[in-house]
Structure 1
Amino acid sequence: MRSVLIHIALIGWLIPAAVVAQQRDSTQTQVQEDLEQALEDFDIEEGERGSEQLIQLLQELMANPININRADVNELREVPGINLKTARAIIHYRTEEKPFETLGELTEVSGIGRVTFEKVQPYVTIGSGLELSKALYSDPRYWTNDGKLQVFSRYQQDLQKGQGYIEPPEEGGYRGSPMKYYQRFGYQSDHLSMNFTQEKDAGEQLSNPARFDHQSWHLALEDNGLLQMIAVGDYSLSFGQGLVLWNGGVFGKGSDVIGAANRKGRGIKPYTSAQETNYYRGAAATVGRRFQITGFYSARNRSSSIISPDTVRYPGSDGYHRTNKEHGQRGNLGQMLYGGRLQFEFPFGIVGATGYRTRFDRYIKASDQAYARYDFEGETTSTVGFDYTLLVGPVLIFGEVARSRNGGLGGVTGIESSLGSDTEMAVAYRNYQKTFQSVLGNGFGEVSGNPKNEEGIYLGLQHTIGDKVTLHAYMDQFRFPAPRFGTHQPTKGYDWLGKAEVEVSPELEFYVQLRSETKEDEYEATDALGRQQRLLDNTRRSNLRANLSYWVNDRVRLRTRGEWVQSRAAGEQVENGYLLYQDLRLLLKDNLKIDTRISVFDTHSYAARVYQYENDLLYVFASQMLYDRGQRMYLLLNYEPFDFLEGWAKIGITKYEDKQVIGSGLNQIKGDFRSEIGIQLRFKF
């Protein structure tokens, strides 16, 4: 009862006194489809860190598209599908030819074909309305031009109680209710951003609306003459290729075979996500145009497992404080960070240098396992790096080289180039030494997260056949010079993807995708004398997917997918998994949309698990991992009754045919089905 009263109080607190109309973005459906396809490639097996930030980045870019008639090179490079070469071509066209009058004119720019145009279209605009001089800082219209004030309230809950809610907190159970709350107050204009975010995870305690487990805020000024960005409060940093500093999500290897390896640093970004660990708190600023100087400082508390009063493990990234033990570790480790960046833009490209130093107020002790032998230990560490993006004729060259305080080196370099008018190619080589300790980086590689202990070479090809067919393929070969998680010796592997997309008509599209990964792994076996041995064998996971999308009319879209997974763990037999689903989208009115899906899955075990990305509440990452045998259904309603109010509601149910216990540990549920609900409101001024 108390939790229900708290929820009612929260909703009542969030209802604004006045609202102003806001037009629905006509590209919303296209962006949603882009998100669906891209996030299906997101590696949820490595954790969901950054996934919400990735969704939010694209959704906010959709809501605040880049003006191609005014944006500089760095702003244009934030758009998915636009690299330095394409950005320079856009600027050359509008300067030497004429300003863009329609988005369709982008296809007249050198290097922008059908595939690239379709990718960038939702995130750009030709500009309209009030264009004020940057000298008019005293004019209120300058700070409020294209301003949007948004208030979010979100509620989610699993309807079946897990074991953690049955056991009392003093015996290891959860301290709070199974309800998950999120609320956000944000204002953004062309030059000003303010935000306040609060969140309580399921199982965490919330005694009153002002005491959420996670609270985040910022005040930021952007694009004010030479002051490119200044952020006070919470912010993220993403520079170069991510070897030194990178916050937020990135798309890894997937159907975007050309842009996967080349990361385009977003610089300083005000932080609005509910992800609780992937940000900095303090102040950061970037000044300049072609020559830019960035400085940043952060001091915040982290949560870490305690080994002794003065020694802890490296802080985790889940942000959970549900049990007494987790709550007791909340904010028990202080972290201070400072550093900077220099960036130069030349006629032939962009080069930059980034460095930081971070200090913890307790000693960090690495795990005793073999895979952690070269992990960071101590109280202080630092990393410096040099990155480059260069244009040499038709070839784009990118890369970064970095060094950590202990002397470990990491590097990645590659090229992107057109091979004729219909084919694009990308090649990248990476080498992160086993001693490289970039604790705040996130470089391209087989293993997501901190770049370390990996060497590999990647080749991606994309070819268009007329206006209807696009072929994608990549091959990536890699090795780990030292033990990785779960192994005690060096290992190697490779993976590849092939995909064919066909647009039969504007209403009918389908694609077929085959993907496979093979890597060495260890398993235990008993020899003829009864002795336990650790042996090395190949693991392999392959999947074949066929996907068909059909717009019956302007209001109804059908999508059918079938997927087959074949998996073989080291020392085990081959196992198979199957997924089949039917998806239906109904645009009942201009302000009412329904997404629903029925899925059937059948796998031999967890090893042959299948994944499906689902539409969900705005900014929510929903990728279901399904195994054993059963069915899943979800229904998502998106309704905008007024220009100032938009709502989402979702219910999902998974029914299993062959088990009476779902999950394990504190998340264990008794029964053969689980279900969840979610409700979200957005008020728009």
Structure 2
Amino acid sequence: MEPKRKRGGLVELYRNCLIRIVLPAVWCWPGVCFAQQEESQHNAEWQELQAETDPESFRENDEQWTLLQRYLRRPLDLNSASAEELQELGLLQPGQIQQLLDHRKRLGPLAAIYELQAVQGFDLPLIRKLLPYVMAGHGFAEQVPFRRIWTEGQHTLQLRYSRTWAGRGASFFPAPDKPPAYAGSLDKAVLRYRYAMGRHGGWGLVLEKDAGEAWLRKGTPLPDHIGFHWAVRRPGLLKCLVVGDYTINVGQGLMQWHGMAPGKSSSVMQFKREGEAARPYAGAGEFYFYRGLAGTLALRKSELTAWLSVRQLDGRLKLLDEESAAMGGTLLPAGYHRTASELEARGNVRQHTAGAIWKRRWAAGHVGVNVQGHRFAVPLQRGTALYQLFRFADDRLLEAGVDHAFTWRNVHFFGEVVRSSAGGWAFMQGGMAALSPAMDAGWVWRSGEPGFAGLYGAPFGVTGTAANERGCYGALQVKVKPNWLLSGYVDMFGFPWLRYRVGAPSVGSDVLLAVHWNPARHATVHGSYRFMERMQDKLREGHNVISPASYGRHQFQLRWELPLTPAVTWRVRAQSQVLESGPGWIAMQQWNWRQGRWKGSWSHAWYDGPPGEGMYLSGLGFPGDGTVNRFSGTGGYVRMQIQRSIAERWNAWFSWQYAGSRTVPQTIQEWRNGMLPEARSTIQLQLQYEWGE
């Protein structure tokens, strides 16, 4: 008889939460909550949800964190900030940006930061989020002479190192433990240098080596990935110019969106894509960027952004015709070069890209016309599986579309429609409405044909691509009291063609209900329930037939953050989920403290779930790291992190983490042989030095 797994479920979650979390909370809950200014952890929830629904589309990009760190040093002036700069913050909805611009237009510059309370749509929780990054008090825009851009900025040099090995480890640098096929050591290192004069200009250099890759490339003292950019922004005709590595964001991401694109979360109104079209790129990811030249011309009420790029992409080559020796390729976006096969695929496919955006602005919004073309050195090939029938397969791709965004009274409309030369259309139309001072609503209709090809798209949806997806999303957000917020969404979607492990057209749904409570200035409590239903191929009992069947996931989540003293903050997250394969739960506590120039945190978690079904935690690593931890099976997790500021220019971080899990036997053979617990340790070190203005 096959051994049965002991299942925890909801009862086990509640018992563990009572013993490990709730009882300590009752014991140490203070009568007064002390204020503590901590760096905000942005987008953690939607990163976890993205990892659950579509981990392959997760992108390595810390540009948003770098931008916010720059505003910590040089706050954005709300009296002179443009709509694009306010969008870049990632903290404001389109309606709030428009209300701030209208307030400035009617009443003039903000007299002080406290005047934000008089702007419609700005409540105290939102203002507190903005405070570290903005300023107000004068109404002039900073005019920086061109020569000062390159002499009076700030330099930042950052080194990040990490290494992972099996077991606890007797030392920080144990003997190498890696598969023989790996070309290099398990060390991962990133060296980044950036110079910036606010938003006016700067340059940067990035060197990165992934775990398993060699330190030297082809015998030269160069790491695996090298990136460089030079950028300048000026008022006048030439608004922006970037040379080197850059990202391009177009419309609502149907055709092109290199940057981070938040998806569904309890922040139900954060679903519109916003940001500058061309931005310099200094991330460690090796796929979602262009290399070449990009610029923006400002022509009165119009803007023209154009870009040219030439890149060597990783791809596996295949002989298509022995007589003509024609070759075809398959792109590999991971960016790893560790094994012989990965090294063989390095830089095999040259890509030429050219594109342009013409945007006409009015007081109420804009209309943009977008076009982009790709040319590959070898034709790209699709797979042989039936669900891959409509995938892009050619050496040329042309995409063209139109996007728009307008505000009328208390309603904001936006959308995009794109046609690709591969033979498919993609469409999206959304809106947001302030139904009352305490109630907001949002909606998105989307539709993409199976033949649509958006190689770098990242639209709002389920799979992270516009092709082969149709759906309708509706959201509602209600402020019951100044410190109570209720939110929820319903997303009904379908896939008109086959998908991986789904042998027929399928449908699904996603529903979330969340409540957010601020009992004190820096104390938050958040609870949510989410139900997801999708289809997957399954063997029917009593029949030798595999057909799609629906499976659902119920997920309950509780988070809170509580300042216990001016120096200590307590964060908790507990989650339970019920799947067809069995129930699971995870509970995590994190203690953050600061004392003078020292800051630190201690995190520990317990988890129990079905093998192969992942549960995710984000925001436990270094600022800007963006790592999402995946837990499966049964086990525990511990992390210790320390930060030290030295002489206002140096910052040092050190982290050690240990995860021990037990894989439950799935077969009689595994049960007889015995399965030893799996353990893994990781150290991380980060040094940062800043000098200049």
Q: How high is the TM-score relative to the length of structure 2? A: 0.86
Question: Which residue number corresponds to residue 482 of structure 1?
Answer: 497
Contact 1:67 1:125 survives alignment (8 Å): yes
Task: Give the alignment partner of residue 227 of structure 1, picking from 238, 254, 258.
Answer: 238
Contact 1:184 1:196 survives alignment (8 Å): yes
Contact 1:311 1:364 survives alignment (8 Å): no
Task: Give the alignment partner of residue 33 of structure 1, picking from 6, 31, 41.
Answer: 41
Contact 1:413 1:428 survives alignment (8 Å): yes
Distance 2:317 2:71 in 1: 40
Distance 1:64 1:245, change over 3 A: farther
Distance 1:535 1:543 in 2: 26
Distance 1:163 1:488 in 2: 46
Contact 1:43 1:252 survives alignment (8 Å): no
Q: How does 1:245-260 map to 2 (within 5 A)?
A: 245-260=256-271
Contact 1:28 1:62 survives alignment (8 Å): no
1:593 partnered with 2:596: no
Q: CA deviation at 1:326?
A: 0.5
Letter in 1 for 2:449: Q
Task: Give the alignment partner of residue 538 of structure 2, picking from 523, 534, 541.
Answer: 523
Task: Single out whichever of 203-212 and 154-163 deviates more from structure 2.
Answer: 154-163
Q: Secondary structure at the match of 2:88?
A: coil
1:332-379, Cα deviation, whole Å (9 max, x unpaired): 110000010101111221111111110000111101112211110010
Q: CA deviation at 1:88?
A: 3.2
Contact 1:80 1:120 survives alignment (8 Å): no
Q: How many residues align?
A: 632
Letter in 1 for 2:364: F
Q: CA deviation at 1:327?
A: 0.7
Letter in 1 for 2:244: G
Q: CA deviation at 1:419?
A: 1.1
Contact 2:422 2:453 survives alignment (8 Å): yes
Contact 1:370 1:487 survives alignment (8 Å): no
Question: Which residue number corresponds to residue 642 of structure 1?
Answer: 647
Q: How does 1:406-445 map to 2 (within 5 A)?
A: 406-445=422-461
Letter in 1 for 2:210: D
Distance 1:53 1:142 in 2: 21
Distance 2:92 2:619 in 1: 27
Contact 2:415 2:428 survives alignment (8 Å): yes
Distance 2:47 2:151 in 1: 33
Letter in 2 for 1:580: A
Task: Give the alignment partner of residue 610 of structure 1, picking from 608, 615, 618.
Answer: 615
1:321 partnered with 2:348: no
Q: CA deviation at 1:184?
A: 0.7
Task: Give the alignment partner of residue 159 of structure 1, picking from 162, 165, 168.
Answer: 165
Q: CA deviation at 1:527?
A: 4.1
Distance 1:676 1:472 in 2: 37
Task: Give the alignment partner of residue 555 of structure 2, picking from 543, 562, 576.
Answer: 543
Distance 1:127 1:199 in 2: 42
Distance 1:94 1:399 in 2: 27
Contact 2:110 2:139 survives alignment (8 Å): no
1:193 partnered with 2:199: no
Question: Which residue number corresponds to residue 10 of structure 2?
Answer: none
Q: CA deviation at 1:164?
A: 10
Letter in 2 for 1:582: Q
- What root-mean-square deviation, in Å, do the aligned CA atoms of Structure 1 and Structure 2 show? 2.6
Contact 2:555 2:578 survives alignment (8 Å): yes
Contact 2:60 2:283 survives alignment (8 Å): no
Question: Which residue number corresponds to residue 285 of structure 2?
Answer: 275
Distance 2:151 2:81 in 1: 19
Q: Secondary structure at the match of 1:80?
A: coil
1:204 partnered with 2:213: yes
Task: Give the alignment partner of residue 110 of structure 1, picking from 120, 124, 127.
Answer: 120
Distance 2:72 2:495 in 1: 39
Question: Which residue number corresponds to residue 214 of structure 1?
Answer: 225
Contact 1:351 1:386 survives alignment (8 Å): yes
Contact 1:153 1:682 survives alignment (8 Å): yes
Contact 1:398 1:413 survives alignment (8 Å): yes
1:49-93, Cα deviation, whole Å (9 max, x unpaired): 245445445444555543211122222222224344433332332
Contact 1:660 1:671 survives alignment (8 Å): no
Q: Secondary structure at the match of 1:606?
A: coil
Distance 1:56 1:490 in 2: 41
Contact 1:507 1:552 survives alignment (8 Å): no
Task: Single out whichever of 670-679 and 251-260 deviates more from structure 2.
Answer: 670-679
Q: Secondary structure at the match of 1:364?
A: coil
1:465 partnered with 2:480: yes
Distance 1:122 1:166, change over 3 A: closer
Distance 1:81 1:671, change over 3 A: closer
Question: Which residue number corresponds to residue 575 of structure 1?
Answer: 582
Question: Which residue number corresponds to residue 290 of structure 1?
Answer: 301
Task: Single out whichever of 66-75 and 514-523 deviates more from structure 2.
Answer: 66-75
Q: CA deviation at 1:523?
A: 1.2
Distance 2:520 2:372 in 1: 52
Q: CA deviation at 1:266?
A: 2.3
Distance 1:537 1:318, change over 3 A: same
Letter in 2 for 1:474: Y
Query: Identical aligned pairs, as a percentage?
Result: 24
Q: CA deviation at 1:577?
A: 0.5
Q: How high is the TM-score relative to the length of structure 1? A: 0.87
Task: Give the alignment partner of residue 184 of structure 1, picking from 181, 192, 203.
Answer: 192
